[in-house]
Amino acid sequence: MRIPLHRLWLLPLISGIAWFITLLSLLLRWVARGTPRYPGQSNPYVAFISDIAAFEMKPTFLVGACITAVAFIGTVCAVHFARYDHRMYGIDDFWYKKWSSALAMVSGVIAGLGLILLAIMDTFRFHEEHRVLLFVCFSGLALSSLSTTLVYFDQTKKPSPFRLLRLYCSASATIVVIEVVLGVAFTILMYMSFWRTAGVLEWVMAFTGCFYMLAFVGFVAVPPEGIDAREHDPLLQEPAGSSV
C-alpha cells in the first residue's frame, strides 16, 4: 500500500490543534470557575494541567490527549520517513543520523503512549503511577525532539534545496531550545517552591508544544505534483549552456 504523501501534513496539524484546543478548554474552564483549588492539588496557586484534568474535565482531556498522542506518533514517523524516502527528500545520511531517526521514532511512540496513559491515570486516583508516567512521557518527548533536531539540523545551516524546509527546521529547532530553557527553569522554580511562577511556566511550556507540533507541517507538506526535481539541484548551479 502506498503512503498518501500529500496527506502527511494533516498529522502534525491534527496533533497541534487537538492539543491546543484541549489545553485551552481546561484553562478556560478553570478560570471560569474562579480558579478553584482541587483535592490533592500540589500547587497552591496555579492548578497544573493534570489537576484540572483529574476532575470535571477528564473526558475532554482523555479524548484530546488520545487524538494528540496518535497524531503525534504518526507525525514523528512521517517526518523521518520523509527524510529518507526518495519520493520526498531522499537524503542519504550518515549512519548516526539514521540511528537517531530510529531513536526519535521509538521515543515518539513512548511519549505518545505515555500521554494516553497519563490521561487515563489521573493525579487524584493514581498519584504515584501518574508521576512515573509523566516522567516517561517527558523523557520520550525530550529524546524524540532532540533526536529529530539533530537529524534535521543540517537543513538549518544553509539554504535548503527543498521548498521552505529550512524555515520550518529552524523554527522547530528554536522551539526545542525554548522548551529546554523553560523546562530547566520550571524544575528549578519547583525545587525552590516558587509555585505561582512554576505553574504559569507549565502552561506556557504546554502551549509552546502546540507550535512545535505545527512546525512539522512544513517538514512533510508537499505540493500536489510532488517535490520539483529541479529543487534537488544546487541553488547556485548555472543553467545549462550559460557562459561567463
pTM of the complete model = 0.88
> What is the structure's pLDDT at 55?
83
Residue ranges per structural domain of the chain: 5-224
**Please, are residues 88 and 20 in contact by the beta-carbon 8 Å criterion?**
no
SS (H, E, C) 121-166: CCCCCCHHHHHHHHHHHHHHHHHHHHHHHHHHHHHHCCCCCCCCHH
Nearest alpha-carbon partner for 112 in 201, 11, 187: 11
Query: What is the block-wise mean pLDDT of the chain (244 residues), using blocks of 10 residues?
Result: 76 97 96 91 90 88 96 97 88 92 98 94 82 92 97 86 85 97 94 94 96 95 55 42 44
What is the per-residue DSSP string for the chain?
----GGGTTHHHHHHHHHHHHHHHHHHHHHHHTTSPPPTT-S-SSS--HHHHHTTTTHHHHHHHHHHHHHHHHHHHHHHHHHHH-TTTT-----HHHHHHHHHHHHHHHHHHHHHHHHHHS-TTTSHHHHHHHHHHHHHHHHHHHHHHHHHHGGGGSS--SSTTHHHHHHHHHHHHHHHHHHHHHHHHHHHTT-HHHHHHHHHHHHHHHHHHHHHTHHHH---TT-S-GGGGS-TTPPPTT---
